Chains A and B, each alone.
Chain A
Protein backbone atom coordinates (compact mmCIF):
# COMPACT_ATOMS: atom_id res chain seq x y z
CA UNK A 1 0.00 0.00 0.00
CA UNK A 2 2.49 2.65 1.10
CA UNK A 3 6.04 3.18 0.00
CA UNK A 4 8.83 2.27 2.40
CA UNK A 5 9.62 5.26 4.61
CA UNK A 6 12.91 6.13 2.90
CA UNK A 7 11.13 6.48 -0.44
CA UNK A 8 8.22 8.54 0.77
CA UNK A 9 8.74 12.13 -0.37
CA UNK A 10 9.04 14.21 2.77
CA UNK A 11 6.68 17.15 3.09
CA UNK A 12 8.34 20.51 3.57
CA UNK A 13 7.72 23.11 6.21
CA UNK A 14 8.38 25.88 3.72
CA UNK A 15 7.05 26.23 0.19
CA UNK A 16 9.27 24.72 -2.46
CA UNK A 17 11.60 27.56 -3.44
CA UNK A 18 13.06 25.67 -6.38
CA UNK A 19 9.83 25.31 -8.25
CA UNK A 20 9.06 21.87 -9.59
CA UNK A 21 12.06 21.39 -11.88
CA UNK A 22 13.44 17.90 -11.53
CA UNK A 23 17.01 18.17 -12.77
CA UNK A 24 19.48 19.40 -10.20
CA UNK A 25 21.36 21.88 -12.43
CA UNK A 26 18.20 23.57 -13.55
CA UNK A 27 17.00 23.43 -9.96
CA UNK A 28 20.08 25.24 -8.72
CA UNK A 29 19.75 27.91 -11.40
CA UNK A 30 16.11 28.58 -10.64
CA UNK A 31 16.86 28.71 -6.92
CA UNK A 32 19.49 31.36 -7.64
CA UNK A 33 17.05 33.40 -9.72
CA UNK A 34 14.37 33.08 -7.04
CA UNK A 35 16.80 34.23 -4.33
CA UNK A 36 18.06 37.15 -6.41
CA UNK A 37 14.62 38.42 -7.34
CA UNK A 38 13.46 38.12 -3.72
CA UNK A 39 16.47 40.07 -2.46
CA UNK A 40 15.99 42.76 -5.10
CA UNK A 41 12.33 43.13 -4.20
CA UNK A 42 13.11 43.39 -0.47
CA UNK A 43 15.87 45.92 -1.16
CA UNK A 44 13.55 48.04 -3.31
CA UNK A 45 10.82 48.09 -0.69
CA UNK A 46 13.30 48.91 2.07
CA UNK A 47 14.84 51.69 0.00
CA UNK A 48 11.41 53.08 -0.79
CA UNK A 49 10.34 53.08 2.89
CA UNK A 50 13.62 54.15 4.51
CA UNK A 51 14.21 57.09 2.19
CA UNK A 52 10.70 58.39 2.82
CA UNK A 53 10.74 61.81 4.41
CA UNK A 54 8.45 60.70 7.21
CA UNK A 55 10.46 57.56 8.05
CA UNK A 56 12.37 59.02 11.03
CA UNK A 57 9.10 60.08 12.65
CA UNK A 58 7.51 56.72 11.93
CA UNK A 59 10.53 54.88 13.25
CA UNK A 60 10.49 56.95 16.43
CA UNK A 61 6.82 56.20 17.03
CA UNK A 62 6.50 52.63 15.74
CA UNK A 63 9.90 50.94 15.83
CA UNK A 64 11.56 52.44 18.83
CA UNK A 65 13.92 49.98 20.58
CA UNK A 66 13.69 51.84 23.86
CA UNK A 67 9.90 51.72 23.84
CA UNK A 68 10.01 48.12 22.64
CA UNK A 69 11.84 47.16 25.80
CA UNK A 70 9.62 49.32 27.98
CA UNK A 71 6.35 47.97 26.56
CA UNK A 72 7.50 44.33 26.42
CA UNK A 73 6.71 43.19 30.00
CA UNK A 74 3.14 44.48 30.16
CA UNK A 75 2.28 43.32 26.63
CA UNK A 76 3.76 39.87 27.29
CA UNK A 77 1.76 39.65 30.50
CA UNK A 78 -1.37 40.47 28.49
CA UNK A 79 -0.42 37.96 25.83
CA UNK A 80 -0.17 35.16 28.36
CA UNK A 81 -3.85 35.78 29.03
CA UNK A 82 -4.52 35.55 25.26
CA UNK A 83 -2.75 32.20 25.13
CA UNK A 84 -4.77 30.79 28.00
CA UNK A 85 -7.99 32.13 26.51
CA UNK A 86 -7.46 30.66 23.04
CA UNK A 87 -6.31 27.28 24.36
CA UNK A 88 -9.35 26.90 26.59
CA UNK A 89 -11.68 28.27 23.91
CA UNK A 90 -10.27 25.98 21.20
CA UNK A 91 -10.87 22.83 23.25
CA UNK A 92 -14.45 23.87 23.98
CA UNK A 93 -15.04 24.88 20.34
CA UNK A 94 -13.81 21.57 18.95
CA UNK A 95 -16.15 19.67 21.26
CA UNK A 96 -19.22 21.87 21.00
CA UNK A 97 -18.96 22.27 17.23
CA UNK A 98 -18.66 18.52 16.74
CA UNK A 99 -21.79 18.03 18.78
CA UNK A 100 -23.64 20.60 16.64
CA UNK A 101 -22.41 19.01 13.40
CA UNK A 102 -23.41 15.54 14.52
CA UNK A 103 -26.89 16.68 15.43
CA UNK A 104 -27.19 18.40 12.08
CA UNK A 105 -26.12 15.23 10.29
CA UNK A 106 -28.71 13.01 11.90
CA UNK A 107 -31.22 11.57 9.41
CA UNK A 108 -34.88 10.86 9.83
CA UNK A 109 -38.02 12.85 10.65
CA UNK A 110 -37.81 12.20 14.40
CA UNK A 111 -34.70 14.37 14.66
CA UNK A 112 -36.21 17.30 12.75
CA UNK A 113 -36.73 19.57 15.79
CA UNK A 114 -33.12 19.05 16.90
CA UNK A 115 -31.77 19.63 13.41
CA UNK A 116 -33.90 22.73 12.97
CA UNK A 117 -32.70 24.11 16.29
CA UNK A 118 -29.08 23.65 15.28
CA UNK A 119 -29.64 25.21 11.85
CA UNK A 120 -31.32 28.25 13.40
CA UNK A 121 -28.56 28.56 15.99
CA UNK A 122 -25.79 28.36 13.40
CA UNK A 123 -27.53 30.84 11.09
CA UNK A 124 -28.14 33.35 13.84
CA UNK A 125 -24.68 33.18 15.34
CA UNK A 126 -22.90 33.29 12.01
CA UNK A 127 -24.97 36.33 11.08
CA UNK A 128 -23.77 38.32 14.10
CA UNK A 129 -20.45 40.17 14.21
CA UNK A 130 -18.34 38.59 16.97
CA UNK A 131 -17.81 41.96 18.60
CA UNK A 132 -21.58 42.37 19.04
CA UNK A 133 -21.88 38.93 20.55
CA UNK A 134 -19.08 39.74 22.99
CA UNK A 135 -20.72 43.00 24.02
CA UNK A 136 -24.18 41.46 24.33
CA UNK A 137 -23.04 38.49 26.40
CA UNK A 138 -20.31 40.31 28.33
CA UNK A 139 -22.32 43.31 29.45
CA UNK A 140 -25.88 42.09 28.84
CA UNK A 141 -26.17 38.82 30.69
CA UNK A 142 -24.42 39.97 33.89
CA UNK A 143 -26.68 43.05 33.91
CA UNK A 144 -29.67 40.70 34.34
CA UNK A 145 -28.16 39.76 37.71
CA UNK A 146 -29.52 36.23 37.58
CA UNK A 147 -28.63 34.25 40.67
CA UNK A 148 -25.96 31.65 40.04
CA UNK A 149 -24.92 33.08 36.68
CA UNK A 150 -21.32 34.28 36.60
CA UNK A 151 -20.77 37.95 35.83
CA UNK A 152 -17.09 37.75 35.01
CA UNK A 153 -16.27 39.54 31.74
CA UNK A 154 -13.55 36.96 31.10
CA UNK A 155 -16.08 34.13 31.34
CA UNK A 156 -18.55 35.76 28.99
CA UNK A 157 -15.92 37.00 26.59
CA UNK A 158 -14.57 33.49 26.12
CA UNK A 159 -18.14 32.13 26.02
CA UNK A 160 -18.99 34.50 23.16
CA UNK A 161 -15.93 33.35 21.22
CA UNK A 162 -16.76 29.70 21.82
CA UNK A 163 -20.35 30.19 20.65
CA UNK A 164 -19.38 32.16 17.57
CA UNK A 165 -16.51 29.91 16.51
CA UNK A 166 -18.53 26.77 17.18
CA UNK A 167 -21.11 27.87 14.63
CA UNK A 168 -18.42 28.17 11.95
CA UNK A 169 -16.52 25.10 13.04
CA UNK A 170 -19.71 23.01 13.04
CA UNK A 171 -20.04 23.80 9.35
CA UNK A 172 -16.45 22.69 8.79
CA UNK A 173 -17.20 19.38 10.50
CA UNK A 174 -20.42 19.01 8.52
CA UNK A 175 -18.55 19.50 5.25
CA UNK A 176 -16.16 16.79 6.44
CA UNK A 177 -18.99 14.43 7.32
CA UNK A 178 -20.67 15.02 3.96
CA UNK A 179 -17.42 14.37 2.15
CA UNK A 180 -17.42 10.80 3.46
CA UNK A 181 -19.16 8.58 0.95
CA UNK A 182 -22.77 7.73 1.73
CA UNK A 183 -21.92 4.02 1.45
CA UNK A 184 -19.95 4.32 4.69
CA UNK A 185 -23.06 5.38 6.58
CA UNK A 186 -24.98 2.57 4.94
CA UNK A 187 -22.33 0.01 5.82
CA UNK A 188 -22.40 1.12 9.41
CA UNK A 189 -26.15 0.89 9.55
CA UNK A 190 -26.13 -2.54 7.92
CA UNK A 191 -23.74 -3.76 10.61
CA UNK A 192 -26.44 -2.93 13.10
CA UNK A 193 -25.03 0.36 14.37
CA UNK A 194 -27.54 3.02 15.32
CA UNK A 195 -27.49 6.39 13.56
CA UNK A 196 -25.50 7.95 16.37
CA UNK A 197 -23.12 5.00 16.52
CA UNK A 198 -22.42 5.03 12.80
CA UNK A 199 -21.76 8.77 13.01
CA UNK A 200 -19.53 8.30 16.01
CA UNK A 201 -17.54 5.25 14.86
CA UNK A 202 -17.65 5.36 11.06
CA UNK A 203 -18.28 8.84 9.68
CA UNK A 204 -16.74 11.27 12.17
CA UNK A 205 -13.28 9.67 12.38
CA UNK A 206 -12.94 9.84 8.60
CA UNK A 207 -14.53 13.29 8.46
CA UNK A 208 -12.17 14.81 10.99
CA UNK A 209 -9.14 13.64 9.10
CA UNK A 210 -10.42 15.39 6.01
CA UNK A 211 -10.97 18.70 7.74
CA UNK A 212 -7.92 18.96 9.99
CA UNK A 213 -6.37 21.71 7.81
CA UNK A 214 -9.61 23.71 7.94
CA UNK A 215 -9.80 23.24 11.71
CA UNK A 216 -6.21 24.43 12.13
CA UNK A 217 -7.02 27.40 9.96
CA UNK A 218 -9.88 28.27 12.29
CA UNK A 219 -7.51 27.92 15.24
CA UNK A 220 -5.13 30.49 13.73
CA UNK A 221 -8.04 32.82 13.25
CA UNK A 222 -9.20 32.31 16.85
CA UNK A 223 -5.75 33.13 18.21
CA UNK A 224 -6.15 36.64 16.91
CA UNK A 225 -9.83 37.09 17.60
CA UNK A 226 -9.48 36.45 21.33
CA UNK A 227 -8.05 39.96 21.43
CA UNK A 228 -11.58 41.27 20.84
CA UNK A 229 -12.52 40.66 24.47
CA UNK A 230 -10.61 43.82 25.37
CA UNK A 231 -13.86 45.67 24.77
CA UNK A 232 -15.05 44.19 28.08
CA UNK A 233 -12.17 45.81 29.92
CA UNK A 234 -9.96 42.73 29.89
CA UNK A 235 -6.29 43.62 29.73
CA UNK A 236 -4.98 41.21 27.13
CA UNK A 237 -2.09 41.94 24.76
CA UNK A 238 -3.76 44.39 22.40
CA UNK A 239 -5.31 46.32 25.26
CA UNK A 240 -1.99 46.39 27.08
CA UNK A 241 -0.37 47.79 23.93
CA UNK A 242 -3.16 50.32 23.59
CA UNK A 243 -2.67 51.45 27.18
CA UNK A 244 1.02 51.90 26.52
CA UNK A 245 0.19 53.88 23.40
CA UNK A 246 -2.30 56.09 25.22
CA UNK A 247 0.25 56.86 27.91
CA UNK A 248 3.22 57.59 25.75
CA UNK A 249 1.65 58.30 22.34
CA UNK A 250 4.12 55.71 21.05
CA UNK A 251 2.94 52.81 18.90
CA UNK A 252 5.86 50.46 19.48
CA UNK A 253 3.74 48.51 21.97
CA UNK A 254 1.50 47.50 19.07
CA UNK A 255 4.56 46.17 17.26
CA UNK A 256 5.42 44.14 20.36
CA UNK A 257 1.92 42.66 20.31
CA UNK A 258 2.18 41.95 16.58
CA UNK A 259 5.47 40.10 17.08
CA UNK A 260 3.96 37.97 19.84
CA UNK A 261 0.91 37.05 17.75
CA UNK A 262 3.15 36.11 14.83
CA UNK A 263 5.39 33.99 17.03
CA UNK A 264 2.39 31.82 17.77
CA UNK A 265 0.38 31.89 14.56
CA UNK A 266 3.14 31.45 11.96
CA UNK A 267 4.26 28.06 13.34
CA UNK A 268 0.65 26.87 13.34
CA UNK A 269 0.21 28.03 9.74
CA UNK A 270 3.44 26.23 8.73
CA UNK A 271 2.30 23.11 10.55
CA UNK A 272 -1.03 23.24 8.68
CA UNK A 273 0.73 23.38 5.33
CA UNK A 274 3.06 20.58 6.33
CA UNK A 275 0.18 18.43 7.52
CA UNK A 276 -1.90 19.06 4.40
CA UNK A 277 1.03 18.18 2.17
CA UNK A 278 1.80 15.02 4.12
CA UNK A 279 -1.82 13.98 3.95
CA UNK A 280 -1.96 14.61 0.20
CA UNK A 281 1.17 12.54 -0.41
CA UNK A 282 -0.11 9.71 1.72
CA UNK A 283 -3.33 9.61 -0.21
CA UNK A 284 -1.44 9.66 -3.48
CA UNK A 285 0.79 6.86 -2.27
CA UNK A 286 -2.23 4.87 -1.25
CA UNK A 287 -3.89 5.47 -4.61
CA UNK A 288 -0.87 4.33 -6.58
CA UNK A 289 -0.02 1.40 -4.29
Chain B
Protein backbone atom coordinates (compact mmCIF):
# COMPACT_ATOMS: atom_id res chain seq x y z
CA UNK B 1 0.00 0.00 0.00
CA UNK B 2 3.03 2.19 0.27
CA UNK B 3 2.68 3.49 -3.25
CA UNK B 4 -0.86 4.60 -2.71
CA UNK B 5 -0.13 6.66 0.37
CA UNK B 6 -1.84 9.65 -1.04
CA UNK B 7 -2.80 12.62 0.95
CA UNK B 8 -6.45 13.14 0.24
CA UNK B 9 -6.73 15.96 2.73
CA UNK B 10 -4.16 17.78 0.66
CA UNK B 11 -6.34 17.26 -2.36
CA UNK B 12 -9.41 18.63 -0.61
CA UNK B 13 -7.44 21.62 0.62
CA UNK B 14 -6.23 22.25 -2.90
CA UNK B 15 -9.78 22.06 -4.22
CA UNK B 16 -11.00 24.49 -1.61
CA UNK B 17 -8.18 26.87 -2.39
CA UNK B 18 -9.00 26.54 -6.03
CA UNK B 19 -12.64 27.33 -5.47
CA UNK B 20 -11.65 30.46 -3.59
CA UNK B 21 -9.26 31.48 -6.31
CA UNK B 22 -11.74 30.88 -9.04
CA UNK B 23 -14.32 32.90 -7.15
CA UNK B 24 -11.82 35.70 -6.58
CA UNK B 25 -10.71 35.81 -10.16
CA UNK B 26 -14.05 35.25 -11.80
CA UNK B 27 -13.55 38.40 -13.79
CA UNK B 28 -11.13 36.73 -16.16
CA UNK B 29 -11.38 33.42 -17.93
CA UNK B 30 -8.56 31.33 -16.63
CA UNK B 31 -8.01 33.04 -13.33
CA UNK B 32 -4.62 32.95 -11.68
CA UNK B 33 -2.88 30.62 -9.33
CA UNK B 34 -0.37 31.14 -6.57
CA UNK B 35 0.20 34.73 -7.57
CA UNK B 36 1.14 33.68 -11.08
CA UNK B 37 -0.85 34.97 -13.94
CA UNK B 38 -2.69 32.46 -16.05
CA UNK B 39 -3.40 34.98 -18.78
CA UNK B 40 -2.82 33.39 -22.16
CA UNK B 41 0.28 35.46 -22.86
CA UNK B 42 1.85 34.59 -19.50
CA UNK B 43 1.56 30.82 -19.71
CA UNK B 44 4.83 28.95 -19.39
CA UNK B 45 4.98 27.09 -22.73
CA UNK B 46 7.76 25.15 -24.44
CA UNK B 47 6.68 26.56 -27.82
CA UNK B 48 5.12 30.02 -27.92
CA UNK B 49 1.36 30.16 -28.50
CA UNK B 50 1.20 26.37 -28.72
CA UNK B 51 0.05 23.78 -26.22
CA UNK B 52 2.37 20.84 -26.82
CA UNK B 53 0.77 17.72 -25.40
CA UNK B 54 2.69 14.46 -25.13
CA UNK B 55 0.98 11.10 -25.13
CA UNK B 56 1.77 7.45 -25.76
CA UNK B 57 2.36 5.68 -29.03
CA UNK B 58 -0.02 4.31 -30.01
CA UNK B 59 -2.94 5.70 -28.04
CA UNK B 60 -5.85 3.43 -27.30
CA UNK B 61 -9.58 3.87 -26.94
CA UNK B 62 -11.44 4.78 -24.85
CA UNK B 63 -8.73 7.25 -23.84
CA UNK B 64 -7.94 8.76 -27.23
CA UNK B 65 -8.89 8.13 -30.83
CA UNK B 66 -12.30 6.47 -30.62
CA UNK B 67 -14.00 5.32 -33.82
CA UNK B 68 -12.88 3.28 -36.81
CA UNK B 69 -11.11 6.12 -38.61
CA UNK B 70 -9.71 7.65 -35.47
CA UNK B 71 -7.47 4.92 -34.10
CA UNK B 72 -4.25 6.50 -32.82
CA UNK B 73 -5.41 9.97 -33.91
CA UNK B 74 -5.49 12.14 -30.78
CA UNK B 75 -6.29 15.15 -32.98
CA UNK B 76 -9.70 13.59 -33.60
CA UNK B 77 -10.71 15.10 -30.22
CA UNK B 78 -12.33 11.78 -29.40
CA UNK B 79 -11.89 9.60 -26.35
CA UNK B 80 -11.88 10.75 -22.74
CA UNK B 81 -8.36 12.13 -22.65
CA UNK B 82 -8.54 13.45 -26.21
CA UNK B 83 -11.69 15.43 -25.51
CA UNK B 84 -10.32 16.52 -22.14
CA UNK B 85 -7.18 18.01 -23.70
CA UNK B 86 -9.17 20.13 -26.15
CA UNK B 87 -11.63 21.30 -23.47
CA UNK B 88 -8.76 22.25 -21.20
CA UNK B 89 -6.88 23.99 -24.00
CA UNK B 90 -9.94 25.99 -24.97
CA UNK B 91 -10.43 27.27 -21.43
CA UNK B 92 -6.74 28.23 -21.24
CA UNK B 93 -7.27 30.23 -24.44
CA UNK B 94 -5.86 27.97 -27.17
CA UNK B 95 -7.59 27.38 -30.46
CA UNK B 96 -7.83 23.78 -31.65
CA UNK B 97 -5.05 24.44 -34.17
CA UNK B 98 -2.75 25.56 -31.37
CA UNK B 99 -2.89 22.14 -29.73
CA UNK B 100 -0.05 19.94 -30.98
CA UNK B 101 0.44 16.30 -29.99
CA UNK B 102 3.83 14.66 -29.70
CA UNK B 103 4.53 11.02 -28.77
CA UNK B 104 6.77 9.80 -25.99
CA UNK B 105 7.52 6.47 -24.41
CA UNK B 106 6.88 5.98 -20.74
CA UNK B 107 10.57 6.23 -19.79
CA UNK B 108 11.23 9.25 -21.96
CA UNK B 109 8.48 11.10 -20.17
CA UNK B 110 10.04 10.74 -16.75
CA UNK B 111 13.74 11.02 -17.58
CA UNK B 112 15.49 14.07 -16.09
CA UNK B 113 16.29 16.98 -18.36
CA UNK B 114 14.31 19.54 -20.28
CA UNK B 115 11.15 18.50 -22.06
CA UNK B 116 9.87 19.56 -25.42
CA UNK B 117 6.27 19.23 -24.33
CA UNK B 118 4.09 21.05 -21.82
CA UNK B 119 2.43 18.06 -20.24
CA UNK B 120 2.11 14.34 -20.79
CA UNK B 121 -1.20 12.53 -20.62
CA UNK B 122 -1.35 8.74 -20.75
CA UNK B 123 -3.16 7.49 -17.62
CA UNK B 124 -0.35 8.25 -15.23
CA UNK B 125 -1.35 7.25 -11.72
CA UNK B 126 -0.41 9.85 -9.16
CA UNK B 127 1.83 8.47 -6.41
CA UNK B 128 4.03 10.11 -3.80
CA UNK B 129 7.16 8.39 -5.09
CA UNK B 130 6.60 9.62 -8.59
CA UNK B 131 5.80 13.10 -7.36
CA UNK B 132 9.35 13.39 -6.07
CA UNK B 133 10.67 13.58 -9.62
CA UNK B 134 7.80 15.05 -11.63
CA UNK B 135 4.77 17.23 -10.97
CA UNK B 136 1.21 16.04 -11.34
CA UNK B 137 -1.92 18.06 -11.94
CA UNK B 138 -5.01 17.51 -9.86
CA UNK B 139 -6.54 14.15 -10.69
CA UNK B 140 -8.88 14.08 -13.68
CA UNK B 141 -10.13 10.55 -13.22
CA UNK B 142 -10.41 8.01 -10.43
CA UNK B 143 -10.17 4.50 -11.73
CA UNK B 144 -10.85 1.06 -10.39
CA UNK B 145 -9.01 -2.10 -11.36
CA UNK B 146 -10.75 -4.98 -13.08
CA UNK B 147 -10.08 -8.56 -14.09
CA UNK B 148 -10.25 -9.64 -17.74
CA UNK B 149 -10.36 -13.36 -18.47
CA UNK B 150 -12.06 -15.96 -20.66
CA UNK B 151 -15.58 -17.13 -19.75
CA UNK B 152 -14.41 -20.75 -19.34
CA UNK B 153 -11.64 -19.79 -16.94
CA UNK B 154 -11.98 -21.08 -13.38
CA UNK B 155 -11.59 -17.48 -12.28
CA UNK B 156 -14.41 -16.06 -14.41
CA UNK B 157 -16.82 -16.36 -11.50
CA UNK B 158 -14.57 -14.91 -8.85
CA UNK B 159 -16.51 -12.84 -6.38
CA UNK B 160 -13.90 -12.21 -3.72
CA UNK B 161 -10.17 -11.58 -3.82
CA UNK B 162 -9.63 -14.92 -2.07
CA UNK B 163 -10.98 -16.67 -5.16
CA UNK B 164 -7.97 -15.35 -7.08
CA UNK B 165 -5.17 -16.64 -4.86
CA UNK B 166 -4.28 -19.40 -7.31
CA UNK B 167 -4.60 -17.30 -10.45
CA UNK B 168 -1.57 -16.53 -12.60
CA UNK B 169 -2.16 -12.88 -13.41
CA UNK B 170 -0.58 -10.53 -15.92
CA UNK B 171 -0.25 -6.75 -15.88
CA UNK B 172 1.33 -4.08 -18.06
CA UNK B 173 4.36 -2.25 -16.72
CA UNK B 174 3.94 1.33 -15.59
CA UNK B 175 0.41 0.75 -14.37
CA UNK B 176 -0.57 0.65 -10.73
CA UNK B 177 -2.30 -2.64 -11.56
CA UNK B 178 0.93 -4.39 -10.58
CA UNK B 179 0.92 -2.82 -7.13
CA UNK B 180 -2.73 -3.69 -6.82
CA UNK B 181 -2.09 -7.35 -7.64
CA UNK B 182 0.91 -7.62 -5.34
CA UNK B 183 -0.42 -5.62 -2.42
CA UNK B 184 -4.14 -6.35 -2.46
CA UNK B 185 -4.76 -9.63 -4.29
CA UNK B 186 -1.45 -11.20 -3.23
CA UNK B 187 -1.73 -14.30 -5.44
CA UNK B 188 0.44 -17.32 -4.73
CA UNK B 189 2.19 -17.02 -8.09
CA UNK B 190 4.09 -13.86 -8.83
CA UNK B 191 2.28 -11.81 -11.51
CA UNK B 192 3.93 -11.57 -14.92
CA UNK B 193 4.79 -8.08 -16.12
CA UNK B 194 4.59 -7.11 -19.78
CA UNK B 195 5.53 -4.06 -21.82
CA UNK B 196 2.03 -3.33 -23.08
CA UNK B 197 -1.47 -4.60 -22.67
CA UNK B 198 -1.15 -6.21 -26.12
CA UNK B 199 1.61 -8.45 -24.79
CA UNK B 200 -0.51 -9.41 -21.78
CA UNK B 201 -3.15 -10.40 -24.26
CA UNK B 202 -0.67 -12.49 -26.24
CA UNK B 203 0.23 -14.29 -23.02
CA UNK B 204 -3.46 -14.86 -22.32
CA UNK B 205 -3.91 -16.32 -25.80
CA UNK B 206 -0.90 -18.53 -25.21
CA UNK B 207 -2.48 -19.84 -22.03
CA UNK B 208 0.46 -18.57 -19.98
CA UNK B 209 -1.71 -16.48 -17.67
CA UNK B 210 -5.26 -16.82 -16.39
CA UNK B 211 -6.21 -13.20 -16.58
CA UNK B 212 -5.23 -9.59 -17.00
CA UNK B 213 -5.63 -6.93 -14.34
CA UNK B 214 -6.22 -3.54 -15.88
CA UNK B 215 -8.15 -0.35 -15.20
CA UNK B 216 -11.86 -0.65 -15.96
CA UNK B 217 -12.08 1.71 -18.97
CA UNK B 218 -9.20 -0.10 -20.67
CA UNK B 219 -10.88 -3.41 -19.84
CA UNK B 220 -13.90 -2.33 -21.88
CA UNK B 221 -11.66 -1.79 -24.88
CA UNK B 222 -9.67 -4.99 -24.30
CA UNK B 223 -12.75 -7.17 -24.12
CA UNK B 224 -14.59 -5.43 -26.96
CA UNK B 225 -11.73 -5.17 -29.43
CA UNK B 226 -8.38 -6.63 -28.46
CA UNK B 227 -8.99 -10.09 -27.05
CA UNK B 228 -11.76 -11.88 -28.84
CA UNK B 229 -14.06 -13.79 -26.53
CA UNK B 230 -12.71 -12.31 -23.31
CA UNK B 231 -14.93 -10.89 -20.61
CA UNK B 232 -14.65 -8.56 -17.65
CA UNK B 233 -14.96 -10.98 -14.77
CA UNK B 234 -15.41 -8.13 -12.35
CA UNK B 235 -14.16 -4.86 -11.00
CA UNK B 236 -12.39 -4.63 -7.70
CA UNK B 237 -13.85 -2.58 -4.91
CA UNK B 238 -12.08 0.73 -4.85
CA UNK B 239 -10.10 1.55 -1.75
CA UNK B 240 -11.67 4.79 -0.60
CA UNK B 241 -8.63 5.66 1.49
CA UNK B 242 -6.22 5.21 -1.39
CA UNK B 243 -7.95 5.96 -4.68
CA UNK B 244 -6.05 5.32 -7.89
CA UNK B 245 -6.13 8.70 -9.59
CA UNK B 246 -4.85 9.75 -12.99
CA UNK B 247 -3.11 13.09 -13.39
CA UNK B 248 -1.41 15.10 -16.12
CA UNK B 249 2.35 14.79 -15.83
CA UNK B 250 4.57 17.89 -15.90
CA UNK B 251 8.32 18.31 -15.71
CA UNK B 252 9.36 18.97 -12.11
CA UNK B 253 8.83 22.61 -11.21
CA UNK B 254 6.86 23.61 -14.29
CA UNK B 255 4.74 26.64 -13.33
CA UNK B 256 2.10 25.74 -15.90
CA UNK B 257 0.71 23.09 -13.55
CA UNK B 258 -0.91 25.67 -11.27
CA UNK B 259 -2.85 27.18 -14.17
CA UNK B 260 -3.92 23.76 -15.44
CA UNK B 261 -5.04 22.88 -11.91
CA UNK B 262 -7.29 25.95 -11.83
CA UNK B 263 -8.91 24.83 -15.07
CA UNK B 264 -9.26 21.18 -13.98
CA UNK B 265 -10.84 22.40 -10.73
CA UNK B 266 -13.33 24.41 -12.76
CA UNK B 267 -14.06 21.47 -15.04
CA UNK B 268 -14.70 19.29 -12.03
CA UNK B 269 -16.96 21.80 -10.32
CA UNK B 270 -19.09 22.60 -13.34
CA UNK B 271 -19.56 18.93 -14.20
CA UNK B 272 -17.49 18.94 -17.40
CA UNK B 273 -15.26 16.09 -16.23
CA UNK B 274 -18.29 14.04 -15.24
CA UNK B 275 -19.98 14.53 -18.58
CA UNK B 276 -16.78 13.60 -20.43
CA UNK B 277 -16.62 10.50 -18.27
CA UNK B 278 -20.24 9.66 -19.06
CA UNK B 279 -19.64 10.17 -22.74
CA UNK B 280 -16.44 8.15 -23.17
CA UNK B 281 -15.83 5.85 -20.23
CA UNK B 282 -19.15 4.64 -18.90
CA UNK B 283 -20.73 1.60 -20.46
CA UNK B 284 -24.19 0.14 -20.13
CA UNK B 285 -24.57 -2.97 -18.08
CA UNK B 286 -23.24 -3.46 -14.59
CA UNK B 287 -19.86 -5.09 -14.02
CA UNK B 288 -19.90 -7.44 -11.04
CA UNK B 289 -17.90 -6.40 -8.00
CA UNK B 290 -15.04 -8.51 -6.66
CA UNK B 291 -14.88 -7.67 -2.99
CA UNK B 292 -11.95 -7.72 -0.64
Contacts and interface: CB of A to CB of B under 8 A. Distances in A.
Residue of B3, B110, B112, B174 most packed against chain A (CB within 10 A)? B112
A142 B133 contact: no
Interface stretch (B186-194, B263-271, B280-288): B186-194
Nearest to B110: A249
Interface in B105-157: 106-107, 110-113, 127, 129-130, 132-134
A44 B268 CA distance: 53
A242 B173 contact: yes
Contacts of B199: 139, 231-233
By size class, the interface of chain A is: 20 to 34
Given A60-B133, A249-B110, A139 B174 contact: no
Interface string B160-204: 000000000010011000110000000000101111000110110
A139 B173 contact: no
A151 B202 CA distance: 12
Interface string A127-164: 00000000100111011010000011100000000000
A58 B194 contact: no
B129 A143 contact: no
A153 B203 contact: yes
Contact of A58 (B112, B190, B200): B112
Interface string A60-93: 1110000000000000000000000000000000
Main SS class of interface, B = mixed
A234 interface: yes
B130 A243 contact: no
A145 B207 contact: yes
A62 B202 CA distance: 33
By size class, the interface of chain B is: 20 to 34
A232 B203 contact: yes
A230 B192 CA distance: 9
Contacts of B207: 142-143, 145, 151
Contact of A249 (B129, B173, B192): B129
Residue of B113, B129, B193, B205 most packed against chain A (CB within 10 A)? B193
A248 to B, nearest CB: 4
B206 interface: yes
Contacts of B178: 243, 246-247
Nearest to A244: B129
Interface in A218-273: 230-235, 239, 242-243, 245-251
B112 A57 contact: yes
A245 B208 contact: no
A234 to B, nearest CB: 7
Nearest to B178: A243
Contact of A247 (B3, B202, B205): B3
B170 A233 contact: yes
B17 interface: no
29 contacts: A57-B113, A57-B252, A60-B112, A139-B199, A139-B205, A142-B207, A145-B207, A153-B192, A153-B208, A231-B199, A232-B192, A233-B170, A233-B192, A233-B194, A233-B199, A233-B200, A233-B208, A233-B209, A235-B190, A245-B107, A246-B174, A247-B3, A247-B130, A247-B179, A248-B133, A249-B110, A249-B133, A250-B132, A250-B133
| 5 A-B pairs with the lowest CB-CB distances in the bound complex, closest first | A233-B192, A142-B206, A139-B202, A248-B129, A57-B112
Given A60-B133, A232-B208, A235-B190, 15 more contacts: A139-B199, A142-B207, A143-B205, A152-B208, A153-B203, A153-B208, A231-B199, A243-B178, A245-B110, A246-B173, A247-B127, A247-B129, A248-B133, A249-B110, A250-B133
